[in-house]
Copies of this chain bind each other. A is one copy, B any other.
Amino acid sequence: MSMQHILSGFKVLDFTHVLAGPTATRVMAEMGAEIVKVEFPPLGDISRFLPTIVDGRSAYFVQQNRGKKSICVNLKSDEGKALIYDLIKQVDVVIENFSPGVADRLGIGWDQVHALNPRVVMCSISAFGQKGPLASLPGFDYIAQAYAGVTGMIGEPDGAPSLPMLGLGDVNTGVHAAAAIGFALLHRERGGLGQHLDISLLDAYFHCHEINVSLHSLTGRVPTRGGHHHYAVCPLGLFRHGDRYVCIITLDNQWPSLCKAMGRAELGSDERYNSNAKRVERAPEVIALVQSWVDAQASVESIVATLAEHHVPCAPVMSIADVVNTPHMIERGTVRKISDPKLGEVNMPGMPLRFSGFPTNIPLEAAHLGQHNAEVLSSMLGLSPARIEELRAAGVLHANPAT
């Protein structure tokens, strides 16, 4: 086998759907792993029906499933289960993100998988983990986010919390899962056996509290959301200019520079403002000072340019349209155009794991439901075309080229 990419030669049997699980195998597909996505008849992964849909093809699905082979197998038939068990014996990794307990009921829980193949690494992804009082709760990102004390830390202090309109929890949990799989494969490569990984949105969200948990534990204070200005650093926040916003961050060593940039150099050493603690105490005053300077500027671009000149951290709050048209994002491939048979050319986020020894982008395509039934069963299990046709006719295998 030729080593084309970092995971070439590794085989993954992938029972995941929608977002967290597919993210884990998406990054592994980009690293050259052979991902066999197992879907169930009649519909397969429900993300095949999530927006944006063009000609029956979901861009949501394509983004998360490029480079994966799709087999669609009726796991409730004895023959379907036998096929899956034979595949489990052939792979390095099994991954699933069903609700806890479902994999067991389907006959593909850890005990069963481990008995079939002691070298296999199995990763289970869930909202709250495999066990415990909350384990059976539904696995939506926002549900875990609320329970992790994250939602409560986002939004204006005198209003409702805000829901981030993107899959921060699911996607990052998928990366946690990929990380754990990588370390478990490394362990196996050094002579270890397979093991079971228990990855949850709850844990992945909760360890992002870098200050809140210990602050509460040591002081009794309950930290809360601060809206668009930070509660502990000033000025650190979002300032409005027209219908846009700029983020300005000023730590102690940048305060004199900000004052200079604002044409108020004398404030840099002013006793009332010359430490972060003092500025936090006079936050409304300091914020008003910066806002009035922002108001007097010609544009967000000129604000960013002036502050950059003075080495004051500053960023325009960008829309998606802004991001995808920013030269840096295109040059780096943070956004990239991929080509899909039905969607055509479409922008997608780039691969976030970059290795100097391998290309960041390899050509990948998303599969229609059951596209690789024959290919996988013949190459991995040696099934004959006649046998595959028999299984198809019996409804054990299914496909839908329209997806």
Interface residues of A (CB under 8 A from B): 3, 6-7, 19, 27, 31, 50-52, 54, 59-60, 62-64, 110, 128-129, 131-135, 137-138, 140, 142-156, 159-168, 170-172, 175-176, 178-180, 182-187, 189-190, 192-193, 195-200, 202-204, 206-219, 222-232, 236-238, 240, 245-247, 249, 308, 311, 313-324, 326-329, 331-332, 334-335, 343, 346-358
B238 close to A151 (CB less than 8 A): yes
**Which residue of the partner chain B has the closest CB to A114?**
B356
A161 and B162 alpha carbons, distance in the complex (Å): 9
Q: A357 to B187, Cβ gap below 8 A?
A: yes
Decide: A52 near B215, CB < 8 A? Known: A203-B352, A320-B223, A323-B206. Answer: yes
Q: Tell whether, in the assembled complex, residue B212 and residue A317 are in contact, meaning their CB atoms are under 8 Å apart.
A: no
Contacts of A222 in B (CB 8 A): 319-321
Please give me the residue from chain B that is nearest to A128 by CB atom: B328
Contact, CB under 8 Å: A334 / B203: yes
A291 to B140 alpha-carbon distance, docked (Å): 21
Residues in B neighbouring A332, C-beta threshold 8 A: 128-129, 131-132, 200, 202-203
Is B60's CB under 8 angstroms from A214's CB? Answer: yes
**In the complex the two chains form, is B60's CB within 8 Å of A317's CB?**
no
Copies per complex?
2
Whether A204 and B236, one on each chain, are in contact in the complex, defined by CB atoms closer than 8 angstroms, is: no
Give the residues in chain B near A210, CB-CB below 8 Å: 19, 60, 63-64, 166-167, 170-171
CB of A284 to closest CB in B, whole Å: 15
Most chain B beta-carbon neighbours within 10 Å: one of A129, A180, A197, A207: A207
CA distance A346 to B184 in the complex (A): 30
Q: What are the residues of chain B within 8 A of A168 when measuring CB–CB?
A: 150, 168, 172, 208
State whether A328 touches B132 (Cβ < 8 A): yes
Pick the most buried of A155, A327, A357: most chain B CB atoms within 10 A of its CB. A155
Q: How far is the CA of A93 from the CA of B25 in the complex (A)?
A: 25
Contact: A164 with B182, CB < 8 Å?
Answer: no
Known: A132-B332, A163-B230, A352-B199. A146 touches B317 (CB 8 A): yes
- Contacts A6-B183, A149-B319, A186-B185; A165 near B226 (Cβ below 8 A): yes
**Cα-based distance from A205 to B167 in the complex (angstroms):** 10
Docked Cα-Cα span, A51 to B64, in Å, equals 39
Question: A267 to nearest B CB, angstroms?
Answer: 21
Query: A216–B185 Cα gap in the complex (Å)?
Result: 38
Q: Which residues in B have their C-beta under 8 angstroms from that of A323?
A: 147-149, 206
Q: Which residues of B contact A143 (CB under 8 A)?
A: 247, 249, 313-315
**Distance between Cα atoms of A189 and B182 in the complex (Å):** 12
With a cutoff of 8 Å between Cβ atoms, the chain B residues found around residue A343 in the complex are: 214, 218
Q: Which B residues lie within 8 Å of A19 (CB)?
A: 210
A52 touches B149 (CB 8 A): no
Q: How far is the CB of A46 from chain B (nearest CB, A)?
A: 10
Within 8 Å CB of A329, what residues of B?
202, 206
Q: What 11 additional pairs, Cβ within 8 angstroms, besides A155-B162, A206-B335?
A: A62-B214, A143-B315, A148-B318, A149-B318, A152-B319, A161-B228, A163-B228, A163-B237, A176-B353, A195-B358, A213-B348
